Structure 1
Amino acid sequence: MKNTTDNPSQQFYIPQELLQELGKMKNTLVIGIPKERNRGEKRVALTPESVEILTSYGHHVYVESGAGLGINYSDNHYSEAGAEIVATPAEVFQADLIVKILPLLPEEALLMRPRSSVFSFVPLRQMSAETYQVLMNKRITALAYDFLKDEKLMYQPIMSAMAEIEGYASISIASDLLSNNHGGKGILLGGVAGVSPTEVVIIGAGNAGTNAARAALALGASVKVFDNNIQRLRQIQRTLGVSLFTSNFHPNVLRNAFQSADVVIGALHNDHPQHRYVIAEGLIETMKKGALIIDLRMNQGGCFETTCCLSAADPEVFEQHGVLHFCKPFISNYVARTASMAFSNLLIPVLTEIGDLGSLKAMIQYNPGLKQGVYLYSGKPVNDYISNHFNLRSNNIDIYLTAF
């Protein structure tokens, strides 16, 4: 009896029309990676390893010369990965899709092609109204990593990864600043036999707070975590064990913790941007002289009354009430290569899927988590939080998805 599988026509039952339609969906992306021009920014959106994956899919990647120097990647690393190195920002901003770390500067926004797209973080204190208006005029589609969620809308993958890195990094920074090298008290962040352990207070039991607590406990510090969400406190207790002290914001307990703390780390999760809570200046006045505050939420407005009103022109490290304040935004820049690699790992699946679906519009329609990250669609404001900051009205993105 003849084996029917020998006949190629009997092996596959996919209509020719469907094959043609699938072929139309594939699309080659032209991606631009500009150099970050904001002071102190070392991270890069895509590492050479990620670029190699994109080029192997057939996508074109333009990298501005020197873009990777902050994380010790030369132009050669990128060119060997298949990228084309361009000498000027004018060239890289002609790409269809720009992937950055920080928001566009006004002069960068002016270089973008009309109706192109840009991905970046959007800390409002670093984004200008001028940039926003240029993007609207050029009908740019803009996505903020700050609001990007997974497909089930359960968590924010990029923000969670950055919070994890910054939580760990905050303990390394605290250890350094407490040493004599930087005028600190000259104490070891941890504990040794016969010496009382350093006391670390963490405000916020989210991802950043959990990893800061884990790192501090590993060094032998005494750690206290405060949060206004009892579920997060239960979770961090289950994760890190009973040796961890947890409490809600009980005034007397919080005051006693601040009075004895050597380090206070602000990592309070911002559940409701319209109702943001901060630690009062009166509590900071009770802290020991030479103590240290590290604010991990500068991009969301700050966790403390002494840090929440700062502008970009204010110093990022200063002393107030005898307490050293460390208020640099994005402290993942202290481990910029690790941050860039983690960031790239999360961004690559998004970019390859956009190519597979044929366009960013198709991806926005298909992926509800990506849709959450869009704040401008074809120049139209579609995110209330960002639009309100610029005193503009926004609409539901679904209105424009059917029109453009």
Structure 2
Amino acid sequence: MRIGIPKEIKDHEYRVGVTPAGVSALKAHGHEVLVETLAGARIGFSDALYEAAGAMITGRSEVYGCDMVIKVKEPQPSEVALLREGQVLFCYLHLAPEPELTRGLLERKVIGIAYETVTDAQGNLPLLIPMSEVAGRLAVQTGATALQIANGGSGVLLGGVPGVAPGKVVILGGGASGINAAKMALGLGAEVTVLDINLARLRYLDDVFGMRVKTRFSEPAAIAELTREADLVIGAVLIPGQRAPRLLTRDMIKAMKPGSAFVDIAIDQGGCAETSRPTTHSDPTYVEHGVVHYCVTNMPGATARTSTLALTQATLPLALELADKGCARALLDNPGLREGLNVFRGQVTHRAVAADLGYAFEAFAMTELAA
């Protein structure tokens, strides 16, 4: 199979879909790999390293002419125009809050396999978890920075100092990003509360953290109560494939302390606050109702080298499966990979995406693959 690795073009996005080591693995399986020039240069993966691994360094149009394109972020409009019918696109898609992107992929009749909805045998999200871990840890760093006076914050130091109480961090969601945010906030010395609707998850957090982290069942009254006193609120909720639930109303944001901060990790799926709107690494924050909002849609791109290494060690085995077996056979053989199939030749093939965007869910695409 001919596999293309493009250079990412989203704002300050320097991650890359396959490392030189990944190219070596793909080549060892007999595949041809085309890498766009400078695709990984910013994070230390030079064209020379890719060439030494066996890749052909080429331009954007040649990369997008391949049978399968492996990248990180969802294709931008200029990239959608380069896609063609039957081409396999393996990357993050986050289609539920992106009707225009979904329409574009359907019109191009590509086969879109989204990292964020691929599952494993236990029902976990193995290609989303690495970036959720990064985003959770970054959320505390960026939130602490947002609290600084020069950035519009209240001037609270999350860890406090002797004789001064620490800042209060409230985390909505106890999944991969939430638990990593809790670890980082605790490391800084903050007072941490995690909310979740899953009682088993709350018990797990209590077992892991003990009395160092407070846990609360997530419901509107508890969210309103805790966010009123919080210095930093982190939105870490996720429903796979679906638009994020709007847990924070505008009134709740208005009731937060002036200069407090809100980091919305869920912004990729539309955000979990009524005041959330996407931002970029070039212009990451805005202040609304006195609260500093950080809503960057590609948070892990801030630490692109670490993020690339964490992501590609999870994606490479599945990329090899797709390339070795061919897309149809791989999807038929691997139910978890099939959960990642969001669009197929003009049809929406993920139930949550179809429901959120008003498309028919076309399960019959599976039958077509078997033909």
Scaled by the length of structure 2, what TM-score is found? 0.90
* 107 and 128 in structure 1: CA distance in 2 versus 1, 3 angstrom threshold: farther
Matches within 5 A, 1:334-353: 334-353=302-321
Matched, 1:119 2:87: no
Conserved? CA contact 1:119–1:143, under 8 Å? yes
* Structure-2 residue corresponding to 1:205: 174
* Structure-1 residue corresponding to 2:79: 108
Partners of 1:395 and 1:99 in 2: CA distance = 24
Matched, 1:305 2:277: no
* Structure-1 residue corresponding to 2:30: 58
Percent identity of equivalent pairs: 32
* Structure-2 residue corresponding to 1:291: 260
Equivalent position to 2:143, from 166, 174, 181:
174
Deviates more, 1:176-185 or 1:340-349: 176-185
* Structure-2 residue corresponding to 1:9: none
Matched, 1:82 2:54: yes
Q: Residues 370-396 of structure 1, C-alpha deviation per residue, up to 9 Å, x if partnerless?
A: 011112234433223334555432311
Shift of 1:251: 5.2
**Matching residue's letter, 1:89:** R
Secondary structure of the structure 2 residue equivalent to 1:226: strand
* Structure-2 residue corresponding to 1:24: none
Partners of 1:137 and 1:279 in 2: CA distance = 35
* 83 and 127 in structure 1: CA distance in 2 versus 1, 3 angstrom threshold: farther
**Matching residue's letter, 2:89:** V
* Structure-1 residue corresponding to 2:11: 39
Conserved? CA contact 1:103–1:126, under 8 Å? no
* Structure-2 residue corresponding to 1:195: 164
Deviates more, 1:246-255 or 1:203-212: 246-255
Equivalent position to 2:301, from 309, 328, 333:
333
Gaps of 5+ in 2: none
Matches within 5 A, 1:144-183: 144-150=114-120, 152-183=121-152
Gaps of 5+ in 1: 1-28
* Structure-2 residue corresponding to 1:255: 224
* 181 and 82 in structure 1: CA distance in 2 versus 1, 3 angstrom threshold: farther
Shift of 1:208: 0.7
Shift of 1:144: 0.9
Conserved? CA contact 1:200–1:223, under 8 Å? yes
Aligned residues: 368
Partners of 1:149 and 1:169 in 2: CA distance = 24
Q: Residues 251-307 of structure 1, C-alpha deviation per residue, up to 9 Å, x if partnerless?
A: 554334222211111112326837934212222222221111101100112111211
Deviates more, 1:388-397 or 1:254-263: 388-397
* 181 and 51 in structure 1: CA distance in 2 versus 1, 3 angstrom threshold: farther
Q: CA RMSD in A?
A: 2.5
**Matching residue's letter, 2:82:** L
Conserved? CA contact 1:124–1:299, under 8 Å? no
* 258 and 297 in structure 1: CA distance in 2 versus 1, 3 angstrom threshold: same
Shift of 1:345: 0.3
Matches within 5 A, 1:67-78: 67-78=39-50
Conserved? CA contact 2:166–2:189, under 8 Å? yes
Secondary structure of the structure 2 residue equivalent to 1:163: helix
Partners of 2:163 and 2:54 in 1: CA distance = 57
Partners of 2:161 and 2:260 in 1: CA distance = 19
**Matching residue's letter, 1:301:** G
Partners of 1:360 and 1:321 in 2: CA distance = 48
Equivalent position to 1:142, from 106, 109, 112:
112
Secondary structure of the structure 1 residue equivalent to 2:308: helix
Partners of 1:398 and 1:251 in 2: CA distance = 40
Partners of 1:360 and 1:212 in 2: CA distance = 36
* 134 and 331 in structure 1: CA distance in 2 versus 1, 3 angstrom threshold: closer
**Matching residue's letter, 1:370:** L
Equivalent position to 2:21, from 44, 49, 66:
49
Q: Residues 165-209 of structure 1, C-alpha deviation per residue, up to 9 Å, x if partnerless?
A: 110111111222223453433332213322211111111111111
Matched, 1:363 2:330: yes
Matched, 1:266 2:208: no
Secondary structure of the structure 2 residue equivalent to 1:54: helix
Partners of 1:125 and 1:365 in 2: CA distance = 24
